[in-house]
A and B are shown apart, each in its own frame.
Chain A
Amino acid sequence: MAARVEACTPCHGNKGEGTSDVYFPRLAGKPAGYLYNQLLAFKNDRRKYPPMNYLLEYLTDPYLQEMADYFASQHPPLPPAAPSDVSQEVLKAGEALVTHGDAARQIPACASCHGPALTGMEPAVPGLLGLRPNYVSAQLGAWRYGTRTARTPDCMQIVAGHLTEADVTAVAAFLATRPAPDNPAPVPKGSYILPFACGSQPN
């Protein structure tokens, strides 16, 4: 399978660990259902990034599933947490949103869906560790502006719609400072109940 996905490696790394380009995400170890949903979304032009749309357009769904399974089963180490260039206050604001959310503004904690250790949940909730702040900011921005969408109810679009630009910066910066947990694997399906309905992962 490694030879079949060689086309992915210049941007995502040999085992999906990511590369020096901060906008290309780590794929390794993310839940296979999440990766499969993204591959399908790129194939069907729902998620727009022309180099990805182009590569996947004429591949079959079962083959995309195999690719998703392959990268989900790779476990290169998470990168060491990077020192952040934002202020302590911003990091604190990020930590508050990630761990507690902001009920007054209808923002759930990231951890309430992405898991207490932020490692995601099988089959389709992605972990948030090992991603660079630029990537997380760009994705949250895309959700906010509606250029990234998922199946309805589109939970991430609803949540991101409540975030300000400052929130996005704070969350992205805080996530990138998190050290790797002892067990970086996504928790099993049903480990906790999602706080609200999500088209990509029905409760």
Chain B
Amino acid sequence: MRPQWRVAAVLVPGLVLGFAIPSAQAQRDDVVKRGEYLARAGDCIACHTAPEGHIFAGGRAMPTPFGTLYSSNITPDRETGIGKWTADDFYATMHKGRFPDGGLIYPAMPFASYTKVTRDDSDAIFAYLKSIPPVNQKNREHDLRFPYNNRQLILGWRTLFFTEGEYKPDPGKSAEWNRGAYLVEGLGHCGMCHSPINALGGQSQSDAFKGGLIPMQNWYAPSLTSNREGGLGEWSLKDITDLLKTGVSARGVVYGPMAEVVHNSLQYLSDEDTRAMAVYLKGIAEASSRPASSALPRTESSLLISLGKTVYDAKCASCHGAQGEGKPPHWPPLANNQSIEMESAVNPIRMVLNGGYPPGTEGNPRPYGMPPFAGMLSDNEVAAVVSYIRTAWGNRGAPVSAREANELRSAPLN
């Protein structure tokens, strides 16, 4: 439509005045709509909206190893929100990780990713946030332990782990790959979980997307670069886009923290953007041949595996199949499933203990859930069945001990 308007404006100048007002309004509406879409791509709602709270009014508690942070009010309320901010202020905050008054922002806000967002996209998100109802709700003070309550420490963190700058397209790659990279590395802030975090709460560039245990949540965010983990190099584009958009696929299902991401963010992305992300994710994954290793003595392993088969046949086979073939997409295959075989056994153990539902999405509004077995199986039985599924049917994972299973019984659930 827009190019045609421009032609009309050139050819018939007399009409321009008549159309100027509605078309400016329509353009503003378009920007707001695009901003809403981008805010979803950035999953702003996950942190900036509290349970049963007003949208984007903040106040959500976010436990970290350093204490509890409370997200801020980003509604356009002039007193307690961002009502007095300009588009310049908003861009600078996203881009530099500093408030308009120069104050330092704790890096729980993924500004190390958002710095890659273009000015145009930042302006659209700001226009959208200005369009939502203002909510008068004061920000709650963070509750951090000494010395982390000293914001000046963030300066050190920034020196080590923060590089400011918009996404630079790689001219050697396709436009689609670059669009995917922009979304994954920028608004998607996938690296917040999928890159390993060190003791200082930082992530290094060279380890980007190499996977790690998510602090406080005790779920393992698999590497996106290794096909031995969550790398998608051997997945079809359709399976990747199915997973991102609906939460289920022929190869596996999202659960734990990734269910949140699909529920609040990824399911709303356009088919083109989802595909672009899939192309990029498939592109960064590489074969890696880290051999599976187990700390368990061989006799203990074989005892666990034989008990595990008994547990599996009794409790699991009716849904996941006698040969681990599953009934995709709702009952995922366990044979040749990277998230079962990968070095960290945290996720398979937790799924057995806690069960879980994939997210309800437009593409899969009535998901099937896995029952929690924490109350039905002993530590030994949990370790046994996980050891079995990690080693049966050609899977090349390592057995796990009853102690590992026991330790995860106390993992936080929300």
B142 to chain A, nearest CB (A): 20
| Cβ of A53 under 8 Å from chain B | yes
Residue A59 contacts which of B52, B367, B374 (CB distance < 8 angstroms)? B367
**Contact across chains for B365 and A57 when beta carbons are under 8 A apart:** no
Known: A58-B260, A63-B365. A7 touches B414 (CB 8 A): no
| Cβ of B360 under 8 Å from chain A | yes
Tell me the complex Cα distance, A11–B359, Å. Answer: 21
A-B contact pairs, 9 of them (CB 8 A): A11-B375, A45-B51, A53-B413, A54-B354, A55-B369, A55-B372, A56-B357, A58-B263, A63-B366
**Contact across chains for B369 and A44 when beta carbons are under 8 A apart:** no
| Cβ of A62 under 8 Å from chain B | yes
Chain A: CB-nearest residue to B369:
A7
**Contact across chains for B51 and A55 when beta carbons are under 8 A apart:** no
Interface residues of B in 361-406 (CB under 8 A from A): 365-376
Known: A44-B51, A51-B413. A57 touches B369 (CB 8 A): no
| Cβ of A10 under 8 Å from chain B | yes
- Additional A-B contact list (7), CB under 8 Å, known A7-B372, A57-B260, A57-B414: A44-B52, A53-B413, A55-B356, A55-B372, A58-B260, A60-B365, A63-B365
Interface residues of A in 1-19 (CB under 8 A from B): 3-11
**Contact across chains for B355 and A59 when beta carbons are under 8 A apart:** no
**Contact across chains for B372 and A51 when beta carbons are under 8 A apart:** yes
| Cβ of A75 under 8 Å from chain B | no
A residues less than 8 Å from B367 (CB atoms): 4, 59, 63
**Contact across chains for B52 and A58 when beta carbons are under 8 A apart:** no
Q: What 4 pairs across the A-B complex have the smallest Cβ distances?
A: A7-B369, A58-B359, A50-B413, A54-B413
**Contact across chains for A58 and B259 when beta carbons are under 8 A apart:** yes
Tell me the complex Cα distance, A50–B354, Å. Answer: 10
Interface residues on B, range: 20 to 34
Known: A7-B355, A55-B357, A58-B360. A50 touches B412 (CB 8 A): yes
Interface residues on A, range: 20 to 34
Interface residues in chain B, defined as those with a beta carbon under 8 Å from any beta carbon in chain A: 51-52, 259-260, 262-263, 354-360, 365-376, 412-414
| Cβ of A66 under 8 Å from chain B | yes
Tell me the complex Cα distance, A7–B371, Å. Answer: 4
Q: Mark A1-45, 1 if CB is under 8 A from B, else 0.
A: 001111111110000000001000000000000000000000011
Tell me the complex Cα distance, A7–B55, Å. Answer: 30
Tell me the complex Cα distance, A28–B297, Å. Answer: 47
Known: A45-B52, A59-B357. A54 touches B365 (CB 8 A): no
A116 to chain B, nearest CB (A): 35
Tell me the complex Cα distance, A5–B368, Å. Answer: 7
Tell me the complex Cα distance, A45–B358, Å. Answer: 18
**Contact across chains for B375 and A10 when beta carbons are under 8 A apart:** yes
B residues less than 8 Å from A6 (CB atoms): 368-369, 371
Tell me the complex Cα distance, A44–B414, Å. Answer: 11
| Cβ of A178 under 8 Å from chain B | no
Tell me the complex Cα distance, A5–B369, Å. Answer: 7
A25 to chain B, nearest CB (A): 15
| Cβ of A46 under 8 Å from chain B | yes
**Contact across chains for A54 and B368 when beta carbons are under 8 A apart:** no
Interface residues of A in 172-192 (CB under 8 A from B): none
A residues less than 8 Å from B263 (CB atoms): 58
Tell me the complex Cα distance, A56–B376, Å. Answer: 20
Known: A54-B414, A59-B357. A4 touches B369 (CB 8 A): yes
**Contact across chains for B365 and A62 when beta carbons are under 8 A apart:** yes
A70 to chain B, nearest CB (A): 11
Q: Mark A52-83, 1 if CB is under 8 A from B, else 0.
A: 01111111101100100000000000000000
**Contact across chains for B356 and A54 when beta carbons are under 8 A apart:** yes
Tell me the complex Cα distance, A11–B369, Å. Answer: 14
B299 to chain A, nearest CB (A): 32
Tell me the complex Cα distance, A51–B370, Å. Answer: 12
A144 to chain B, nearest CB (A): 22
A residues less than 8 Å from B262 (CB atoms): 58
B residues less than 8 Å from A66 (CB atoms): 366
**Contact across chains for B372 and A9 when beta carbons are under 8 A apart:** no
**Contact across chains for A10 and B259 when beta carbons are under 8 A apart:** no
**Contact across chains for B413 and A58 when beta carbons are under 8 A apart:** no
Tell me the complex Cα distance, A63–B372, Å. Answer: 20
A52 to chain B, nearest CB (A): 9
A79 to chain B, nearest CB (A): 19
Chain B: CB-nearest residue to A7:
B369
**Contact across chains for A7 and B370 when beta carbons are under 8 A apart:** yes
Tell me the complex Cα distance, A44–B52, Å. Answer: 6
Tell me the complex Cα distance, A45–B51, Å. Answer: 7
**Contact across chains for B360 and A60 when beta carbons are under 8 A apart:** yes
Chain B: CB-nearest residue to A57:
B414
Residue A21 contacts which of B357, B371, B375 (CB distance < 8 angstroms)? B375
**Contact across chains for B357 and A7 when beta carbons are under 8 A apart:** yes
Tell me the complex Cα distance, A8–B357, Å. Answer: 11
